[in-house]
Structure 1
Amino acid sequence: MKEKGNIARKSTRNFISNWPLHAMIVIYAGLWIWMAIAPYSRFDWVLENLLIWAALIVLISIYKLITFSNLSYALIGLFLALHTVGAHYSYNENIVDVWLKLILHSERDNYDRLVHFSFGLLLAYPLREALSTWTQLSRKWLYVMTCVTILALGAFYELIEMWVALLVAPEIGTLFLGTQGDPWDTHHDMELALYGAVIAMVVTAALRRRVVKMNDER
């Protein structure tokens, strides 16, 4: 019990003095409030925000158990910001979609694909931090299991979308799922999340190797 108390006090002190994290919270809160005004579909906005509220509850709940680096909090915040913007538009056409259509020469609204890719790209590093704290995996297996876990979480989220659409809002199921008539939409979403995670881990490994090499040269 004494050890847990020390961890709790340390976490509290870290949070109080961590002004970059405070800034991230204020910026995200401002974006969330802005995106909560007159969304494309209020009911769909509520459903999409269930993920955000669940994520924030988890982050707050585990803060005393694991305090992520500010880099990880920034990556998590950026992903939540992308999802928050998507929730406002119900993942329908927005300025990013217009830009992507011009680049990809596609009629499909691709913002949702961007967010699924970002799920792997942005959350892989924080997940690796968590796995390195909670498991005894070697460095190489951390990279592998991070990618596997991202793929599993992506698949689980697709199941959650299906369950919510069927149980809570079957009348807007197509809007909420955002398949846009693509029978392979779910597969592509998981695929992009996996690609994002692989890229993130390759970059992490390369940067880590470079830092080690620079330290050895000193």
Structure 2
Amino acid sequence: MFWLLTAAWAIGLVLSGIAPYDRATWLMEVLPAIIAWPILFFTRQRFRFSDLAMALITLHGLILMLGGAYTYARTPLGFWLQDWLQLERNPYDRIGHLAQGFVPAIVARELLLRVFRLENGKLLGFLVVCICLAISASYELVEWAAALVMGEGADEFLGTQGDQWDTQSDMFMALLGALAALLLARWHDRQMARMGR
């Protein structure tokens, strides 16, 4: 599964990086995938994620790359959804933040169960959601820092589209994503059991 992720991300990085709308925004958006790949590479022998986790990590990286190519406010998929759902703004940013909760929830859940040996139960779900909210809040702090450093140049990276509550909406979407991911707990457990958890 790791080499499938590598191939998908390599293609995604090349295609999204050929002529992005804004090169600095592209780099900031794809940076999490660029950081994640060597971590996954160097730990793959000692710790192999479940197929579910790897598929979601792959998808999340591609979501970042598409958003980086066009900027989240200009992504064609978002415009299509905006028209179809008759929304006031391009919702691709919301999709990205939903994934920012959903994917880390599965990853955190797997690490907590397999590495830290937590018991499956309510505490596990609570900690998974807390970790996802911490990741989301940290990302919002990165966006804030980018806005301070870059001024108006950060507008494409922030993708607020004039929404004064964008930060809160982003964190709420991450919360929804994390909660939705917990619905996959049984499927996730079965996959880990097949791996010998």
TM-score grouping bracket, smaller chain normalisation: 0.7 to 0.9
Q: 182, 188, 197: which one pairs with 1:201?
A: 182
Q: 37, 42, 57: which one pairs with 1:56?
A: 37
What letter is aligned with 2:91? N
1:105 aligns with 2:86: yes
Write out the 4+ residue segments of structure 1 that deviate beyond 6 Å after TM superposition.
Answer: none
Separation in 2, partners of 1:26, 1:53: 13
What letter is aligned with 1:26? A
Q: Greater relative contact order: 1 or 2 (C-alpha under 8 angstroms, separation 6 or more)? A: 2
1:68-117 deviation digits (Å, cap 9, x = unpaired)? 12221111010010111000012132321122112331131110111110
Superposed CA RMSD in Å reads 2.0
2:195 matched residue in structure 1: none
Counterpart contact for 1:21–1:70, Cα < 8 Å? no
Percentage identity across aligned positions? 34
Q: CA deviation at 1:208?
A: 6.5
1:147-168 deviation digits (Å, cap 9, x = unpaired)? 110011001111011112322x
1:45 aligns with 2:30: no
Counterpart contact for 1:45–1:90, Cα < 8 Å? yes
Separation in 2, partners of 1:96, 1:208: 29
What is the number of residues matched between the two proteins? Answer: 189
TM-aligned CA distance change 1:165 to 1:66, over 3 Å: farther
1:90 aligns with 2:90: no
1:125-151 deviation digits (Å, cap 9, x = unpaired)? 122111113324221122221111001
Separation in 2, partners of 1:156, 1:73: 23
Show structure 2 runs of 5+ residues with no match.
191-197
Separation in 1, partners of 2:188, 2:151: 47
Counterpart contact for 1:66–1:130, Cα < 8 Å? no
2:143 matched residue in structure 1: 161
Separation in 2, partners of 1:50, 1:104: 30
What letter is aligned with 1:204? A
1:170-213 deviation digits (Å, cap 9, x = unpaired)? 231222111111111011111111111111102324x478x6xx
More off after superposition, 98-107 vs 56-65:
56-65
Q: Which has the larger radius of gyration?
A: 1
1:180 matched residue in structure 2: 161
Counterpart contact for 1:79–1:123, Cα < 8 Å? no
